[in-house]
Structure 1
Amino acid sequence: MTLLRKLKNLKLNYTLLLRFFVIFVSLWLLAPAFPECNAQAVDFSYDENPDFSTLSYPEWQDSVIHVIGDHNYAPYEFLNEKGEPDGFTVAIIKAVAKVMKLNIQIELIPWGEVRTSVDQGTFDVVSGMYQTQQRDAIADFSIPHFISSYSFFVRKGTKIKNNEDFQDKVVLVQEGDLGHDYMIERYPETRLITFTDFGDLFLALSEGIGDCSFHSRLQGLRFLSSNEVSNVEDVGKAAIQQKYCMAVAEGNTQLLAILNEGLSIIKTNGTYDRIYQEWFGIYENTPFSWRRVMMLTMWIVVPLVLLGLIFFYWSWSLKKQVRKSTADLQEELKRSQTFQHELEVSQSKLENQNIQLQQHNARIASMNDELKAAKLKAEKNDNLKTAFLANMSHEIRTPMNSIIGFCELLEIEAQEPNVQKYTGIISNSAQRLMRLLDDIIDISKIESGVIGFSFSQMMVKNILIELYEHYKVETDNKGIDFVRQAEDVCEDFLLTTDPSRLMQVLNNLLSNAIKHTDSGTIIMGCSKQPDHLKFWVTDTGRGIPKEDLPHVFDRFYQAGNHHAGGTGLGLAIARSIVEYFGGKIGVESRENKGSTFWFTHPLSLQAGKLHG
């Protein structure tokens, strides 16, 4: 049953395919017989033409090219109902601009103003202009994009029947148009009435002004078809045929070459033909042509021959396909039976795997319960640690402040040098313990994510001067040159920051530099970058071994000399503060040559996540 069903489907598919082919061929055969239908079905869009340009004109591609034309010279160029440039030449210049990647601005104005711009050379491109010997002296013309015929139009019923009957008549022309120039040059005695607007000219002829008009034949035919004018017709043969081109200022050969290349491209890729058919196809009558008859015959005969060959091939191949399909179906049946067996085996394995999965899920649930209990215990321990640190801070700071205070009083009142020396040692040790306590509490707060920041605006100069004055005495006592090196634009910058935390970072870097420098120079500097300030501290001290550099910002890590004192927390705290500001911190060092510690601070502060 399955085999018979598939054979029927195979025959049905061939039948549908044959019917589809017959319909397609029929439509193909009928298409040439109805050119009007083809014209309606043509897709006139020309926005997706490929770019075939082979030259590069960056100076023109980066500038706006001003294109001017007549505002009322339909169908070539005119302002449509929306007041936008429209027409055959407008479509042509847009297509050229697209394939050549030009940035154009089209402005349609009265023809008299166009002629003035051409005479004065104050233009880039004229979208459409007839090429004459006189005009060629003041402008350069592209290859023609249209050959226009000029004819005489008269009111129906007049005695003017050919091109010779107008010589003693009154002729209407558009001022500055090719027809105007032609009549002045060839027939200077003829009386002319000029009109700025072509529409006014045609309506004037219809209403009885003048005897005839002389202008583009297509322009006249279009006006007759789109306006309620029925008493005007064209007579005689075309008086002149003239090239209608784009024009550029005299000597602008590069822009002319660009336009010529663009015209050649759109004529090659079919864009020009689509534009032409859109604007002029309905005004042209296709004459009888034996060649067209032969082409239509070929359209009919060749497909019929092909259809006969296809029928013959189809009948021969159908039997072959049936035999092949039968063998394929038998092979498919065998594979189906094998697959059914494998499916049964897989189903049995899957049942066993489901049991294992349930056991695995039970173990995961048990582990999750253990993790939750561990998490609760860790949170409890963290709370206990926080409470312990808070209590330790209070219990240790209070007596320590008393020790420091009384030591300072003893230093003032003591008369014996040894007493002053011992009280100084006690005071320094107490202050070191206070700093150690502060570091431990800061690290604890950083781990808990509760470290406090207080942001305000402060002049960078004030921070640097305060630090310089604070450490200047200590560096002078050690015989070290201490230099403040900062750009004016950096020092005068009003920075939004936490001043105490920023100074805490710089204090750590400066105290480390002084601690590890026995002689030479320490430089504290600042520079302004586009989006951040960069601070640095450079010393000529012992430097840091290369193997220690990746770890200098780790907690409790002391590089190089482990006898220099300290807890190994200062740089870790500095890194956390800088990263909270949204900056970066780093070090460059050579052993026995010195080190440079630097960090950045954003101009616009966006606090980040603390480094845990």
Structure 2
Amino acid sequence: MKLELRYMHFGFILSVILLFSLFPAHSFARLIIVEGDYDYPPYEFLDNGIPSGFNIDIIRAVAKAEALDIKINLRNWSNVVSDLKSGKCDVVTGMVKSEERSSFFDFSIPHNILSHSIFVHADSNIKQLEDLVHSEIIVQKSDIMHEYALKNFTQAKIVAVDSQGEAMLLLASREHDAALLGKLQTIFQLKRDGLTNIKSVGSGFGFGEYCFAVRKDDIKLLGQLNEGLNLIKKTGEYDEIYKKWFGIHERRNNFREIIYYVVLVLIPVILFLVGFIIWTWMLRKSVKQKTKELTLELHERNRAEEELKKAQGYLASVIDSMPSVLIGVDNNCNITHWNREAARVYESEHRDVIGFPLDLAVPQLAFEIDLVREALKTGKKQIDSKLRGYGNNRTVYQDMTIYPLVVNNIEGAVIRIDDITERLNFEQMVMQSEKMVSIGGLAAGMAHEINNPLAVIVGHAQNIQRRTSVDLVKNINMAEECGTSIDVIQTYMHERGITRMLNGILESGNRAAKIVMNMLSFSRKSDNVFNRQDIAAVLDRTLELASSDYDLKKEYDFKRIEIIREYEPGIPPVYCEENEIQQVFLNIFRNAAEAMSGKVYSTVGARFILRVRRASQMVRIEIEDNGPGMDEDTQKRIFEPFYTTKDVGKGTGLGLSVSYFIITDHHKGTFEVESMLGHWTRFIIKLPTTFD
């Protein structure tokens, strides 16, 4: 019986071993369903029905490295996103990471960086994102640009299609105005499909990390994907795949080859020297002397190499300390040098961009690549001045200069980019100040010349009213002497409209007198008393005053405006005349409220953002609204006397002119305006904390 039990145990164990030998552990592994876009070359697409592309090769390499059992399906992108949300698939091969998507999915470390661009007809007038506000925009359904367009172009018509290829064909047929698509993949498709009537305009935007996406909290699978990516990067397999699809060529490392030839040469030399020493014992002294000379020469050479390294380090420090962006490129426009300022401005380290094509590493410069090639071809310096863009919620201007180089038969170029925003703003401020000083003198002369005849007109009109009044006995007596009565005269004047005309003369005269007073205030320094004031408190009091102003409430209800305060603590008091500063703030609030009343808001309502913070020896006050904004011409003329965008009779055009002189002339401060048409306007006032 015991023997039979032993045989039974032995048979059971043998069966288990046989089972595991026939069905290895990985046969029980989970099947990973991988999905991607069927028409998104060169990243992922169907090549004669077979999944192909950079993303496909990457996920296959990762699956192999991690021993994952995967099945790849490429289909309509919106269905891919829906499948990942519902759990019908486990991994998406490529998705741009965003804050909104992170609430539904988890993302791996990035395996690429994507940028996007505006694509339009070849003869389109659209140049930049601001031109799309009221346009018809094509996007790929559920793409990151679909989310971007819905968020930023609420007044535009958004046309969502299934694929980027369909978007290009639709745009080529001129049915819509523009398309927001991935830059590299769309250019790839344009060349593939032979579409020559479409071009890319404006600077690249929407840069994002391109990652694997998994369902939320699928931590194990996410860890395997990240580990697999790191493994194929370390083994060099990632670089081979990248080179295959994007053509980035690795530099050849000839170090081992050099060592080989050095050893190949040195061994015979050493053998020869040993043999020579053995057979020339009599010449030992001369050999020692020669050896000493060679040692000294080697020492001198090492010293020269050290000096060269120091010189190279010094030059690198000089280049890195320069405030300009400096980028070196070779004859193929691949990056060879990258200084510290370039790393700061474009947020990419030296090691991440060296060897990459300029237009891929810095998409913002993709449209300047032809200018770089022109400099390389002609050997002449090329300049592109006052390049305009947006960054950190402000307009940025840059000068770009391209210097061609030929060193030791190696051709290349150095690209220098300087931020000239502050310089242009200063020049504009100086021009504005000089213009305002000239206009101030003219305004004073005009005011005095107008004041004298105006006093006569108003005075005589008032005298006519008094001498036809029933309240004066002398008027009654004189009317009776003339054979009539003062009541008859009053009736006649009323019936003939003379009374109304006199009231009109007085009303217009008083209005003109107020304009003259503003013009004189515009041209004269204030004699008011200056005191130290808490500028944040002054701003709040003015806002309170504006919200209770009757005329203003007729135009717009201040209670419907959201107020956001961003006051830096510990702001020093400002030496100023409170009434004048309140007049400036009130003018800004009034104009902004009236402007916002004419804008239709789809999501958020009207809003003021008030900021007070320290700026060196001054205090910086910002009043920002989310109204309709201003175009560039309006920004240049906004402080000119009598310049107004309001309807006739609603404004004199002097409010901001007087405010400008109060700040710059009376308080020795600065007054600027920044705006983005259709989005926001920001007035910036700087006041000194001390006043001489």
Give the strand-richer structure, 1 or 2.
2
Q: Do Structure 1 and Structure 2 share a fold, with TM-score over 0.5?
A: no
**Structure showing greater Rg:** 1
TM-score, normalised with respect to structure 2: 0.34
